[in-house]
Every structure is written in structure tokens, then in C-alpha cells.
Amino acid sequence: MTATGAEPALEVRGLCKRYGSITALDGVELSVASGELVGLLGPNGAGKSTLVKIACGLVRPSAGAASVCGAAAGSRAARASLGYLAELFRFPGWCTASEVLRLHQRLAGSAGGLAERDELLELVGLADSAGRQVDAMSKGMQQRLGIAQALIGSPRLLLLDEPTSALDPAGRHAVRALLEQLRTRGTAVLLNSHLLSEIELVCDRVVILSRGQVVAAGRPEELTRAGGVAVHTGDGIRRFPDAGREQAPAIVASLVAGGAEVYEVHVLRSTLEDVYLEAVSGSQEAPRQ
């Protein structure tokens, strides 16, 4: 099938993957629309990297199917539509940043030349390091070079497997800004990460995998919910788990009338971390056998 731009950037239907007796994916349904930024979360061993590798065509599914921009995962057309940053990547230490990008331009068949390399290095904050060898780069710099590599040829789908694990807070902030920028260009992104607060900030939608199955999915604001009111008084924190924002003034008034000294009032909302912990509770690192 030829890509028309109307199909989802990534579509995964009934995806299963077994490695011998280990079930890494167990009937996963997932789609990423054009320009959508989806966060894929889950405990170690949940199957996140396996799903991404199937989308790249590096791993064959045991059942079900994945397609990229309408083309079967692994086909030439599918591979031409995506950029991938692997979880555990390693570039040759003796290559400079520019040489790494040049090599990947050849592998991807990109005719972007020096202009594309310069633009990508600028985009990931490595404009001054084009001539620096990988061995002389910090882990964070190598990760940013990895992101630049994934963007060669302006792919419609970007698969990033833990792209910010080695980045300091400023580096993560820069990647978040970069992802926002990609969204405006219509690039779809599937982002694996354990950094929940970051996912909550940047993703349109999150999918939580546990033991190879989708256990929760939705927009961050749909998944999180009101979590009551907490009032810091001279006698400690008083919690009102069922109260909402509109009840806060009455709660404070009644506490003050009762002689309490009120220092702070917090209207709580569950975080993505709370949702995640609830969704994956009971799952262990070991997958189902």
C-alpha cells in the first residue's frame, strides 16, 4: 500500500510476541495519528522496546500486525517513513558527530547533505560539536546526537526509546521543546520513557503497558483525577479526600472557626505517577510465562 498521509503514522492491531516461553506482548492495540505525540509507559520488561522494534521491522510479531503510514512494518516503505533511536545504541567512538550523521544519511538515502546535518546538529544543541568525536562526548551529548540521527530525512514517525535517560534537566527541557516543534511540523512521535512527569508535560496521549498488555490509555488530563484537599495547620496536615476546589473556602473557614491555624491549602489532583502505579500494581518485572 502507498502512504497517502491519511493513515495513522503507526497502527498496531492484536500484536503478540513470544520469545520461547516468555510472552513479551499479548494482544496490544495502539495507534499514533499524524502529528500526535504518544508516551509509552510501563515497568521494566513490560514490552515497550519489543513493540518499537516490531514497528521498525527489527523483530517479527508472533501474531497481529503493525503498520507505519499504511505500509506493513518492516517493508521498505514503512522503514522509509520512520526514524528510530534505540534504547541501547552505540555510535563508533572514532567518528565525529558530523561523520555519524553522514553515515546515517547514506544508510537512510537522504540527499540532505551538509545543510541537513547542520540543521539537525543545531536543533539538538550540538552546532559547536560537529567535529567532536563520539568518544569525547558526554552521554547526554551522544543521546542528543542519537535524536539528530533519528530525524534524518524528516520521517513522518519518530520512535524514541528512552531518549532522555542520560540527559540533565536542561537537556530534557531542550528535548521537550524539540518535540513540541516536531508536532507543529506534523511529525508523529512514540516516546518510551520512565520519566512520568516529563511524559505528562509533553504527550497528547499516554499508553501504559504492563506484562505485554495495555492496562490504561488516554490523554493525561483524562487519566488523572481530583484527589481532595489538604490543609496544613499548626497541628499537622488535615486531609479531605472527597472535597473539591469549591469546598476549600468552607473547609478553611470551619478549621479557623474551630481554632486551627491555617498555613497552606492544596487542592490535589492525582499525578500520572499515581495513575501509573495503580495501573501496573501487581505486575512484577518478570513477564508471564
Q: Which residues bind ligand ATP (CB under 6 A)?
A: 19, 22, 24, 42, 44-50, 87, 287
Least distance CB 49 / ligand ATP (angstroms): 3
Least distance CB 192 / ligand ATP (angstroms): 7
Least distance CB 150 / ligand ATP (angstroms): 17
Residue 47 touches which of Mg ion, ligand ATP, none (Cβ within 5-8 Å per kind):
ligand ATP
Nearer to Mg ion, 87 or 204 (CB): 87
* Packed helices 113-123 and 97-108: angle between N→C axes, nearest 10 degrees: 120
Least distance CB 42 / Mg ion (angstroms): 9
> How many CB atoms within 10 Å of residue 86?
18
Nearer to Mg ion, 22 or 260 (CB): 22
> Which x/- pattern over 79-98 shows residues binding Mg ion (rule: CB under 5 A)?
--------x-----------
Nearer to Mg ion, 46 or 97 (CB): 46
Least distance CB 45 / Mg ion (angstroms): 8
Nearer to ligand ATP, 19 or 263 (CB): 19
Least distance CB 161 / Mg ion (angstroms): 6
Nearer to ligand ATP, 27 or 227 (CB): 27
Transcribe the chain into DSSP letters.
----S-S-SEEEEEEEEEETTEEEEEEEEEEE-TT-EEEEE--TTSSHHHHHHHHHTSS--SEEEEEETTEETTSHHHHHTEEEE-TT----TTSBHHHHHHHHHHHHT---HHHHHHHHHHHTT-GGGTT-BGGGS-HHHHHHHHHHHHTTT--SEEEEESTTTT--HHHHHHHHHHHHHHHHTT-EEEEE-S-HHHHHHH-SEEEEEETTEEEEEE-HHHH--EEEEEEEETTEEEEETT--GGGHHHHHHHHHHTTPPEEEEEEEE--HHHHHHHHHTT--SSPP-
Rule CB under 5 A: is residue 210 a binding residue for Mg ion?
no
Nearer to ligand ATP, 140 or 287 (CB): 287
Rule CB under 5 A: is residue 49 a binding residue for Mg ion?
yes
Nearer to ligand ATP, 173 or 288 (CB): 288
For residue 167, the 8-state DSSP code is -
- Which residue's CB atom is positioned nearest to Mg ion? 49
Rule CB under 5 A: is residue 164 a binding residue for Mg ion?
no
- Give the angle 218-220-226 at the CA atoms, nearest 5°: 110
d(CA 69, CA 56): 12
Least distance CB 234 / ligand ATP (angstroms): 44
Residue 22 touches which of Mg ion, ligand ATP, none (Cβ within 5-8 Å per kind):
ligand ATP
Interacting residues with Mg ion (CB under 5 A): 48-49, 87
